[in-house]
Every structure is written in structure tokens, then in C-alpha cells.
Structure 1
Amino acid sequence: MLRFILLLALCLGVAGNVIQLSRSSFSGEYGGGGGKRFSHSLNQLDGPITAFRIRVNWLFIVGLQVRYGSKWSDYVGGSLGDLEEIVLHPGESIVQVSGKYKLYLRRLVFTTDKGRSFSFGKDTGTSFNAAPLHPRTVLRYLSGRAGGLVDALGFHWDTYPVHCLRCSLAGPGLGS
């Protein structure tokens, strides 16, 4: 009987992890085929997305950097163009990303769960619309390819982090 209870507990633990994993989804990769691969999968351990830095020129998304909790990811892309920064409100999350691309990304529009939208770049090229597959999930991290420009982006969705050990160690509050 004890073996049965232990086996049942083990199965429920595994099933619980499978259920949790089923809330994640991926949109993309949108853009061209060039550039060097990057992923912010480890950055998400620093906390939820709290800010973006996007560099744009007259026609392309040149580069980007994302703040997870209070730590910035590595910058990817080139150095020419104007750098813009947006900061999310505490507890605010990205729930949709749309844009345009040809061989490189040309436009990005981030929409939050608070109804705000942030637009970068030019409105030319093939359209895309990225959103999570599951309700109550948000943008957790980015991956893609970049060189002198941002060639392509993919969007990884999951539940908002309830507790983040690195966030607690980094200091108080989101957006600081």
C-alpha cells in the first residue's frame, strides 16, 4: 500500500509539471534567415520583462535589449540609428507583438495587458501577429537572430512568474 501511495504521489508530481509546461507557447520566428542566433531563455530567470530598448533607423529595427526584473539582457544588433526605451508599469506584461519584416525586421508593436501599445520602425513588409496560445499567459522572453540589424525574432509565452529567486535577491520592486 505504501508503494502505491508513493507511486501515486510521484505520478501526480510529474503530471503537475506537465500541466504547468502546457501553458507555454512559441510564436515565430518572424524575419529573414541571416544573423547570429540569440536567446534570452536564461534571462527570464531574473524576472518578468520590465523594459525594452529598441534601436531603429529609417527602415529597419537595428537592435534591441530587454530588461528582465532589474537586469538588462545583452544588446543584440547594430549600433546605427536612434535608441528608444520603454518601461512597463509594475505588474504590466506584454500580451501581443505585431510587426512587419522582409529580410530584416522593419516594425515592432508591443501591446500590454493594460491596453498600452508601443510602436517602433516603419510600416512596410510582410505582417505578423504574435500572441500566446493560452489564456492568462504573457511574453516571458525573446529569441532570434541578429547581426548588423535584427534579422528575426521569436516570442516565448508563459504564465507571469509568481516568485522569482533572482528577483528577490536583486532588490525591491519591479521597474527599479
Structure 2
Amino acid sequence: MLQLILILSGVCTVGMAMPLPDFYSYSMAVGDGSGVEYSTAEAGRITGIRVWEYSSAYISGFQLSYEGNWTTLVCASYGNPMEMTLHHDESIIQVSGKYDSGYMLMFVTSQGRSLKVGQPSGISFNLYPTHDGSELRFLSGRHNGYGITSIGAHWAVYHSSV
């Protein structure tokens, strides 16, 4: 009996010493999902976003900046790039828009700023975290070489190592 108590107390001690897991949530991808998979997952915090708008209507591609380093371009750079650099301690807390034959994307930050690109026509969507304090960590989905065909958002609480 004494052994069982020692084992259980050791388990409780180990359980209490472990840090709480980061809160993570995934907003399911929207769009038809055809084409090649992509993911913008990188280490660090997102510090900027760049989106290419083609012919004032279609999203041809995008990049995220992590700690000032841009990810590989997702899809293509047709058209005009539109960019937003995040302020210190600012994060993306919502991705919304519309999709059908093209996309309209709007990225909303924790400081109430937004970047809106594309034309508002089609089916509306709104992607956001399920846990307070979470922020956009990366985007994933599919593209067909001409434009984005689906987009999903991955959210988590960010812990700085500084």
C-alpha cells in the first residue's frame, strides 16, 4: 500500500510540474481545395503579411513575415502587392472574407487595424481562434498555380523566449 501511495504522489508531482499546453485551434479550410497543398508554418511570431491582388479582383498569392523573414511565396505574384507590417505586440486575430471564383481576404489585428484585398463577392467566411489570447500562427490550404483555392488558419498562444 505504501508503494502505491508513493507512486501516485510521484505521478501527481510530475503532473503538477509540467507546464500547461499552449492553446491551439484550427479554423477549417474554406474553398474548393483543388491543387497543391501549402503551409506557411515557421518559427517565431508573424510580423507582417503581403498579398498580391490581380486585376483588382483575385488573390494570386501571399506571404507571411516571421520576425522580419518572409516565407516562400504561396502560389503566384501576379498583380499588385499589398502589405501590412504589424506593430510591436500586435497580432492577427481574425481572417475573414469571401470566396467563389476568387477570394477577398481581410486580416484583422489585435490593435483593430486590417488589411483588405480582393473583391467582396461569393460565400462569406470568418476564421478566428477559439481560445482567448491566441493569434494566427500560420495558414494552410491549396492553390492551383493561378490563385488560392482554399485557406485555413492555425491559432495558438504565442510565448516569447525572451
TM-score range (shorter-chain normalised) is 0.7 to 0.9
Aligned equivalent of 1:38: 38
Three-state SS of the structure 2 residue aligned to 1:160 is: coil
Q: Which one has the bigger strand percentage? A: 2
Three-state SS of the structure 2 residue aligned to 1:10 is: helix
Q: Partners of 2:119 and 2:28 in 1: how far apart? A: 20
Q: Partners of 1:135 and 1:32 in 2: how far apart? A: 30
Aligned equivalent of 2:113: 116
How far 1:70 sits from its partner (Å)?
2.3
Q: Structure 2 matches for 1:123-134, cutoff 5 A? A: 123-134=120-131
Structure 2, unmatched stretches of 5+, are none
Three-state SS of the structure 1 residue aligned to 2:81 is: strand
Aligned equivalent of 1:8: 12
Three-state SS of the structure 2 residue aligned to 1:55 is: strand
Aligned equivalent of 1:153: 151
How far 1:2 sits from its partner (Å)?
4.7
Q: Which has the larger radius of gyration?
A: 2
Three-state SS of the structure 2 residue aligned to 1:56 is: strand
TM-score, normalised via structure 1 length: 0.80
TM-score, normalised via structure 2 length: 0.87
**Cα RMSD, aligned residues only:** 1.8
Aligned equivalent of 2:140: 143
Q: Could you report, residue by residue, the CA deviation over 1:43-85 in whole angstroms, capped at 9, with x for unpaired residues?
A: 0x2x111001101112211001101112211111123211122
Q: Which one has the bigger helix percentage? A: 1
Aligned equivalent of 1:79: 77
- Figure out how many residues of one structure are paired with residues of the other and give that number: 156
The equivalent position to 2:99 in structure 1, one of 101, 108, 124, is 101
Q: Partners of 2:142 and 2:85 in 1: how far apart? A: 24
Structure 1, unmatched stretches of 5+, are 165-176
The one-letter code matched in structure 1 to 2:8 is F
How far 1:13 sits from its partner (Å)?
5.1
Aligned equivalent of 1:167: none
